[in-house]
A = this chain, B = another copy of it.
């Protein structure tokens, strides 16, 4: 007889009744080959004693096993594993997780075979990140208040039911007002889809605009996750130079004479990673080219809300009268990265298609969070938060740049950014950033190693240094460590 006492471990606190637990264990023993077709099962009396449960429970388990078609009762002989079960092999060893060369059980093409680099960001006490907000400033208490208020107010609780793939109607309306007030961007709520952060906007736009081998123009340096998204859908990335005035639109114009371009991805405000702003003249020329060549402009304006010198440039979308611009923005960036709310604006038919695709991806967003954000826009909490954090970030930028200038003058070249949450820092070529990051981590400071910003045509020895998430004493401590390890 098999060692049932150790094979059959039951849990009296589990949410499944005892007889079902016993039945399920027998099924596993049968399917993994421990019990073979035609094997006899122990009598209910014997098993009950062995594993210390009531005999009736064992009987119920056997009845269940028989009714599910795993076993049969033969009169005056006992209960047997069904003789005509498809033959089952002995159990395999556990999944080989370490040896990646082992053949997979099914055939698929891994487009992501590069392992995700382990992220040390949360492992260190201090971190100079790539330009993330300080989540300690996020008005979480106010958000919780709105959550409670919504969850109590609505009888029928529609906010818990399936909703619109375009997102909460309330938030779309509130965003219309907000975008009109802050950006002179006047759209109807039919032209907005609420996304999960700006990343989902980029993904949806890429899926809808690009077919394999289509060309998309991007900056020589560019936001890596946008590049990856365009590459994922099979598009061809055409790199356009970026200089102090942003994307080189004359170069793009020349490119258009030899290549058909489906879309241009641009971050006109503070180009990622180098934070340059595209000049007005180039913006107008880009719009003109888009109209002539019928390409789409994907305008990623994730950073709009952070301007320290009160000079927000109007987005391309606000001055586009031919509907060539797909405008992508984020509230996650302003509030808290893990509360993923962004938006994409475009021609109605495009936004409707995006909503259909979104339906296939994840049906819809979190209506509770969307409605709560809408209420915080309406009652001014969001605006108060923006103003408050803008003021704090400006102080942090100033202090950060002062320290960089006084303490790192020899090794870091940078421009004071007039917006955004990070300083693009060119390090002296002698400095090995990978080693610097490793040494810093040993001393409790996370700092990037510059790898994320490199691509096949951009290889600066630089990185974005985020100042927004560090308060004064943290900043002094963090840059103190960096100074030591350089």
Residues of A participating in the B interface, judged by any CB pair closer than 8 Å:
11, 14-17, 20, 24-25, 27-28, 31-33, 64, 67-70, 85-86, 88-89, 91-92, 95, 97, 100, 104-113, 115-116, 121-122, 132, 135-136, 138, 140-141, 144, 147-148, 151, 156-163, 165, 181-182, 184, 188, 190-191, 195-197, 199-200, 203, 208-209, 211, 225, 228-229, 232, 262-263, 279-281, 284-285, 288, 290-291, 294-296, 310-314, 318-319, 321-324, 336-340, 347-350, 352-353, 355-357, 359-369, 383, 386-387
| Contacting pair A95 B280 (CB below 8 A) | no
| Contacting pair A362 B157 (CB below 8 A) | no
| Contacting pair A161 B182 (CB below 8 A) | no
Contacts of A104 in B (CB 8 A): 323, 347, 349-350
| Contacting pair A361 B199 (CB below 8 A) | yes
CB distance from A115 to the nearest CB of B (A): 7
| Contacting pair B363 A196 (CB below 8 A) | yes
Q: Bound state CA distance, A24 and B356, in angstroms?
A: 35
Contacts of A95 in B (CB 8 A): 191, 323, 347-348
Q: A140-B157, A362-B362 are in contact. List 8 more A-B contacts (CB 8 A).
A: A67-B311, A86-B281, A92-B322, A160-B337, A160-B338, A200-B361, A340-B365, A340-B366
The listed residue (B86, B162, B280, B295) touching A288 by CB distance below 8 A is B86
Q: Bound state CA distance, A97 and B189, in angstroms?
A: 12
| Contacting pair A386 B161 (CB below 8 A) | no
Q: Bound state CA distance, A108 and B363, in angstroms?
A: 23
Given contacts A91-B321, A361-B199, contact A284 B338 (CB under 8 A): no
Q: Bound state CA distance, A141 and B135, in angstroms?
A: 25
> Which chain B residue shows the least CB distance to A232?
B360
17 contacts between A and B (CB under 8 A): A16-B182, A17-B310, A20-B311, A24-B314, A64-B311, A69-B280, A86-B284, A95-B323, A95-B347, A106-B263, A108-B262, A110-B208, A122-B161, A162-B338, A199-B361, A338-B367, A340-B362
CB distance from A361 to the nearest CB of B (A): 5
Given contacts A144-B148, A281-B85, A383-B15, contact A135 B161 (CB under 8 A): yes
Contacts of A313 in B (CB 8 A): 68
Contacts of A338 in B (CB 8 A): 159-163, 364, 366-368
| Contacting pair A321 B353 (CB below 8 A) | no
> Which chain B residue shows the least CB distance to A155?
B136
| Contacting pair A108 B350 (CB below 8 A) | yes
> Which chain B residue shows the least CB distance to A91?
B321
Q: Bound state CA distance, A268 and B162, in angstroms?
A: 24
Complex copy number for this chain: 2
- Return the 4 tightest CB-CB contacts between A and B, nearest first: A160-B336, A112-B356, A31-B319, A135-B160
| Contacting pair B290 A106 (CB below 8 A) | yes
Q: Bound state CA distance, A44 and B305, in angstroms?
A: 29
| Contacting pair A203 B361 (CB below 8 A) | yes
CB distance from A418 to the nearest CB of B (A): 12
> Which chain B residue shows the least CB distance to A295?
B106
CB distance from A391 to the nearest CB of B (A): 13
| Contacting pair B291 A321 (CB below 8 A) | no
| Contacting pair B140 A151 (CB below 8 A) | yes
Contacts of A91 in B (CB 8 A): 321
| Contacting pair A70 B364 (CB below 8 A) | no
CB distance from A271 to the nearest CB of B (A): 17
The listed residue (B33, B158, B232, B359) touching A122 by CB distance below 8 A is B158
| Contacting pair B181 A311 (CB below 8 A) | no
Q: Bound state CA distance, A175 and B383, in angstroms?
A: 39
| Contacting pair A360 B15 (CB below 8 A) | no
The listed residue (B122, B136, B262, B362) touching A199 by CB distance below 8 A is B362
CB distance from A311 to the nearest CB of B (A): 7
The listed residue (B15, B294, B336) touching A161 by CB distance below 8 A is B336
Contacts of A352 in B (CB 8 A): 112, 115-116
| Contacting pair B349 A100 (CB below 8 A) | yes
Q: Bound state CA distance, A352 and B319, in angstroms?
A: 42
Given contacts A88-B284, A181-B16, A281-B69, contact A105 B324 (CB under 8 A): yes
| Contacting pair B161 A132 (CB below 8 A) | yes
| Contacting pair A284 B16 (CB below 8 A) | no
CB distance from A37 to the nearest CB of B (A): 11
| Contacting pair A112 B28 (CB below 8 A) | no
| Contacting pair A15 B160 (CB below 8 A) | no
| Contacting pair B360 A162 (CB below 8 A) | no
The listed residue (B14, B162, B200) touching A132 by CB distance below 8 A is B162
CB distance from A223 to the nearest CB of B (A): 12
